[in-house]
Amino acid sequence: MQITSLDEYKKNYQLSIDQPEEFWAGIAEKFLWKRKWDKVLSWNFSEPNIKWFEGAKLNITENCLDRHLEKDGDKPAIIWEPNDPHRDSITLSYKILHEQVCRFANVLKKNDVKKGDRVCIYMPMVPELAVALLACARIGAVHSVIFGGFSAKSIADRINDAACKIVITADGAFRGNKQIPLKEVIDDALIGCPTVERVVVLTHTRTPVSMLKGRDIWWEDEIKLVDTDCPAEEMDAEDLLFILYTSGSTGKPKGVVHTIGGYMVYTGYTFANVFNYQPEEVYFCTADIGWITGHSYIVYGPLSQGATTLMFEGVPTYPDASRMWQIVEKHKVNILYTAPTAIRSLMSFGLEPLNGIDLSSIRVLGSVGEPINEEAWHWYDKNIGKGNAPIVDTWWQTETGGIMISPIAFVTPTKPCFATLPLPGVQPILVDENGKELIGNGVSGNLCIKFPWPGMLRTTYGDHERCKLTYFSTYENLYFTGDGCSRDEDGYYRITGRVDDVINVSGHRIGTAEVENAINMHSGVVESAVVGYPHEVKGQGIYAFVIFPKAHEDETLTRQDILKTVTRVIGAIAKPDKILFVSGLPKTRSGKIMRRILRKIAEGDTSNMGDTTSLLDPAVVEEIVLKRNTMDKLELKGK
């Protein structure tokens, strides 16, 4: 299954294009199936309707756990490193993880969770989070993990959309020097969630919490009432595995649906190849399981390959900027997969945090979440990899399920800032605005995929039409990624960023409409428009232009009030970095806000605004530019 040379990559890639069904059947043979498939693939992108390994029966947890027990039962499956460096780390062997998953699966069954029921998981980065995911998959329940930074309203929206029956949470979470009251947030969310029957609460921070009789139960109490015997539910390859909510260009989050068979095959295959994973190696992905990276490359991908995966509860800079490097040294990490945001943040502390730390165990470095800038790439390569560890700069999305375009460690020659070449089975094309394919090299356009791959989304939960409109209707018979991309003279792909109304903040996609809706909920706001702008740490920051007639009374306090509102409605992750109060917004005569102009103003590129004469009120642009320049001067003075 592992590709070991460039020639082998080219051969595999060609086979995957010429005979995709034969290629993926060969990969799927390496996994454990209760019943083999009748048909490898049936598809069309117009409905869309995609099915992989039709007729096959399996359980993904047997591939992630049971099949490793005989030979590797005592091998570390998960190493957990706590937020507090003075606390002990915890290692779960495959045997112990299997027992914990089966036990908690029985807790779910005891609480009337059945195959197909949706389960909301809102937990800290603790081993029990991985246990909860796998326990759901064990009994055929569909998990929907919500990142621990979301607000009560955002959680309620997601719970109601999926009609979740049960919520799994904890008393609280530690993240750096913060303590997050998870159960309290869940209590606020559940006021408007009639489908939830039970809340399972894990003790973690020992924060006092309210426990409602008949609804709330303790994880610790429940697991004492069940045993570890839980046969894996037989599932169809196209049954739902999980729903993961992502921001869209409308205000309502959309639930991306992934099914079992194809997702398992794709995450396992891409993990083994991209990182060139070797038995006994320690693999460390710094993502949160609340995002797709954590699903695919902390839990399912590594465990399906019998890997040792490291989970970290905290943040790279707490208690100081040497924390992440200390973890690498302590656990002799061989593969480190992190985000450009984290790299840029750690770069800002200089080289002192690296003093005296042994990073010699590192063999492969990875980057995920957004395109990595050249300065960060070179810093990462020189100071962390010492020039010996290839950097796999991976491009993929929540919707793709797994890595799509990336170097393969020790196989593909890398190039700073380039995702390089598509993985076998991935058929990218670049198109112009009219959907015409741009042939050859040295071209730039919108990135689309013209053929299905096993890990791709199947629908958006409860709203298939939205899936069709978002991904398959912009260009006929193509999956549209929403990203711009260039292909250089070597045929290498470089992602240039979002072309739709989505901002990539620290590798997390946030819909501009969602942020605007939250800002507009503040009582004094008349209207707002939000755009992305370059941010030296986050990659993209959020710039908000807000019409608020009474803001002049105390602009600083008004900004803080708006930030509080956004945090309450969505969560702190969506807080604007800059808020500019304006008297109007640039609009066409039909009332459409010209975000293109606002983006130029936010970026400070006001020399080439294009034609503004067709605007309803062209003078408003000059006023916004003037206000922005004034705010910049005030900020510089403040510094």
Provide the pairing of β-strand 216-218 with 49-54.
unpaired
Backbone angles phi, psi at 65, to 5 degrees: -130, -70
Question: pLDDT (tens digit, 9 = 90+) per residue, 311-369?
Answer: 999 999 999 999 999 999 999 999 999 998 889 889 989 999 999 999 999 999 999 98
Nearest to 531 by CA among 621, 631, 600: 600
Instruction: Give 294-312 as a 3 state SS string.
Output: HHHHHHHHHHHCCCEEEEE
Structure token digits, residue 246: 């992502």
- Which pLDDT belongs to residue 573? 86
Cα separation of 322 and 353, whole Å? 5
Nearest to 258 by CA among 276, 243, 277, 278: 243
Residue 52 exposure: Cα atoms within 13 Å on the Cβ side: 26
Structure token digits, residue 179: 């303590």
Cβ contact 300:263 at 8 Å: yes
Burial group, residue 245, by CB count within 10 angstroms (0-12, 13-18, 19+)? buried
Q: What value, to the nearest 5°, has the Cα angle with vertex 300 and ends 299 and 304?
A: 115
* Across 439-463, average pLDDT: 96
pTM score, whole prediction? 0.87
- Which pLDDT belongs to residue 149? 81
Contacts (Cβ under 8 Å, ≥6 apart) of 340: 367, 369, 370, 371, 372, 373, 376, 507, 539
Strand (E) or helix (H) holding 540: strand 539-547
Cβ contact 175:314 at 8 Å: yes
* Across 540-567, average pLDDT: 89
Strand (E) or helix (H) holding 292: helix 292-294
**pLDDT, the chain, mean:** 93
Residues in the chain: 639
Q: Residue 414 carries which side chain, given as an amino acid letter?
A: T
- Which pLDDT belongs to residue 252? 75
Write down the number of H helices and E strands in the chain: 20, 30
Ordered by where they begin, the domains of the chain are 93-233 (3.40.50.980), 502-638 (3.30.300.30)
Q: pLDDT category, 144, cuts 50, 70, 90?
A: very high
Structure token digits, residue 299: 């839990």
Backbone angles phi, psi at 555, to 5 degrees: -60, -40
Q: pLDDT category, 554, cuts 50, 70, 90?
A: confident
Residue 116 reports pLDDT greater than 90: yes
Cα separation of 114 and 154, whole Å? 25
Question: pLDDT (tens digit, 9 = 90+) per residue, 486-529?
Answer: 999 999 999 987 777 778 888 777 878 778 888 988 888 888 89
Instruction: Give 470-522 as a 3 state SS string.
Output: HHHCCCCCCEEEEEEEEECCCCCEEEEEECCCEEEECCEEEEHHHHHHHHHCC
Q: pLDDT category, 174, cuts 50, 70, 90?
A: very high
Residue 15 reports pLDDT greater than 80: yes
Burial group, residue 360, by CB count within 10 angstroms (0-12, 13-18, 19+)? exposed
Q: What three-state secondary structure class fits 202?
A: strand
Burial group, residue 468, by CB count within 10 angstroms (0-12, 13-18, 19+)? middle
Structure token digits, residue 57: 């029966």
Q: What value, to the nearest 5°, has the Cα angle with vertex 23 and ends 22 and 24?
A: 95
What are the strands, taking DSSP E only, across 313-469?
335-338, 364-367, 391-393, 428-431, 443-449, 459-460
Cβ contact 24:52 at 8 Å: yes
Other Cβ atoms closer than 10 A to 594: 20
Contacts (Cβ under 8 Å, ≥6 apart) of 622: none
Q: pLDDT category, 591, cuts 50, 70, 90?
A: low
Question: pLDDT (tens digit, 9 = 90+) per residue, 197-210?
Answer: 999 999 999 999 99
- Which pLDDT belongs to residue 552? 67
Q: What three-state secondary structure class fits 581?
A: strand
Q: How far apart are the first and last CA of the chain?
A: 55
* Across 220-249, average pLDDT: 93
- Which pLDDT belongs to residue 461? 97
Q: How far out from the chain centre does Cα 9 lie? A: 27
- Which pLDDT belongs to residue 549? 84
Q: How far out from the chain centre does Cα 289 lie? A: 8
Other Cβ atoms closer than 10 A to 191: 8
Backbone angles phi, psi at 107, to 5 degrees: -60, -45
DSSP state of 323: H
DSSP state of 138: H
Cβ contact 404:448 at 8 Å: no
Question: pLDDT (tens digit, 9 = 90+) per residue, 270-308?
Answer: 999 999 999 999 999 999 999 999 999 999 999 999 999
